[in-house]
Amino acid sequence: MENMKVSMSRVLDTEYSLKRKLVSRNSKNCYISTSLSSCNVSRKDGLFVCKSSSLTESYQVLLSHIDEVIMNNACFYELGFHKYPDNFHPKGLKYILDIEQEPHIAFTYAIGNIVLKKELILVPDKAELQCKYTLLESCSEIDLVLKPFMAFQKSLK
């Protein structure tokens, strides 16, 4: 599948970006399904969803989301984006610079002079997800705090 070309103004439009999905699968019945905004709004969405067993058709969301916090010079920037009944928090959507789908799903974030790329890699022949972070630009050291949201909930068939 070819990388999609979506203008960042469309990604910042939450109505648009929440309805557009990024999906990746491997041969071990595992998949990633998330929106352009990296916000999971459906029970089927998750960063690591696997078939429960070979005997059933149900899937289980094992890793729902990873929220990243960049800490730099006593400032912190939350890259996560979650939908709640009355609002969105945190609002990391505004930091997304670029989105790729091939060869795997990747988000590039820009915060001032910091550019960070997050790649979500499903290992082809294993039930395994690798998350790779690459600091592309920065004038100073940063700390990256990862907050995984484990779900362990059944997804719909």
Which segments within the chain are labelled E, that is strand?
Answer: 21-25, 30-35, 46-51, 59-72, 75-78, 81-83, 88-91, 96-100, 105-111, 114-122, 129-137, 143-154
The pLDDT of residue 58: 85
Residue 47 falls within a domain, yes or no?
yes
Indicate the pTM of the whole model: 0.87
Mean pLDDT in residue range 32-60: 85
Return the sign of the alpha-carbon dihedral for residues 150, 125, 54, 1. positive
**Band of residue 88 on the pLDDT scale cut at 50, 70, 90:** confident
- Higher-confidence residue of 111 and 7: namely 111
Count of domains for the chain: 1
Residue 55 falls within a domain, yes or no?
yes
**Band of residue 1 on the pLDDT scale cut at 50, 70, 90:** very low
Residue 77 falls within a domain, yes or no?
yes
The C-alpha atoms of residue 28 and residue 50 are separated, in whole angstroms, by 8
Which letter does DSSP use for residue 93 in this model? G
First to last CA, the chain: 24
Residue 1 falls within a domain, yes or no?
no
Residue 71 falls within a domain, yes or no?
yes
Residue 3 falls within a domain, yes or no?
no
Distance of CA 112 to the CA centre of its chain: 21
Residue 41 falls within a domain, yes or no?
yes
At residue 102, φ and ψ (nearest 5 deg) are -125, 140
pLDDT in tens, 3-33: 555 677 777 777 888 888 999 999 999 999 9
Residue 2 falls within a domain, yes or no?
no
The pLDDT of residue 51: 87
Domain range spanning residue 34? 8-154
pLDDT in tens, 70-82: 999 889 999 998 8
